[in-house]
Amino acid sequence: MIALTPEEIAQFRARLADYPEALAALQEIEDCDGDIEDAAISLSLKANQEPDTNEEWLAGFSKRYRHIVCRAEFREAIAAGQLSTLIHALTTETDCPPLIALPVALYAHKAEVATFCYSFDHSRVVSNS
């Protein structure tokens, strides 16, 4: 289970005050006793997504956005829990529903961004031209 403590939820509320969808996602996470994965399932249904499974759904969904999450410009911020610029990128540059952008960002943060991006970083083909 990937979870936020009540203190972490309060900190993210202060940091993400300009993002109403993120605040709604935080409320859902709080209602799910901090469980980000359970909240993501509920939020996905509200965003007209159709989760195919409860187990590891957020992990699989988050992988769709590795090309954004794993950009060098976001990695340090994600590691430090500064997620607003990533949330903005997810909601403006991709089809990620705004209600699920925070759970995606939190997943990358809690899973440790280096671990989350490992297979993405090592799957690139290096050209010898």
Full 3-state SS string of 16-46:
CCCCHHHHHHHHHHHHCCCEHHHHHHHHHHH
Given a cut of 90, whether residue 1 has pLDDT beyond it is no
Share the mean pLDDT of the chain. Answer: 89
| pTM attached to this predicted model | 0.88
- Which of the four pLDDT bands, split at 50, 70 and 90, describes residue 121? confident
Residue carrying the six token digits 């960002």: 105
| pLDDT for the residue 127 | 47
Given a cut of 90, whether residue 123 has pLDDT beyond it is no
Percent of the chain with pLDDT over 70: 94
- Single-letter amino acid, residue 71: R
Residue range 9-58, pLDDT digits in tens: 999 999 999 999 999 999 999 999 999 999 999 999 999 888 776 678 99
Q: How far apart are CA 1 and CA 71, in angstroms?
A: 26
Residue carrying the six token digits 């899973």: 111
- Give the number of other CB atoms < 10 A from CB of residue 84: 17
Q: How far apart are CA 47 and CA 49, in angstroms?
A: 6
Q: Measuring CA to CA, how many Å separate 46 from each of 40, 73, 128?
A: 10, 30, 47
| Residue of higher predicted confidence among 103 and 52 | 103
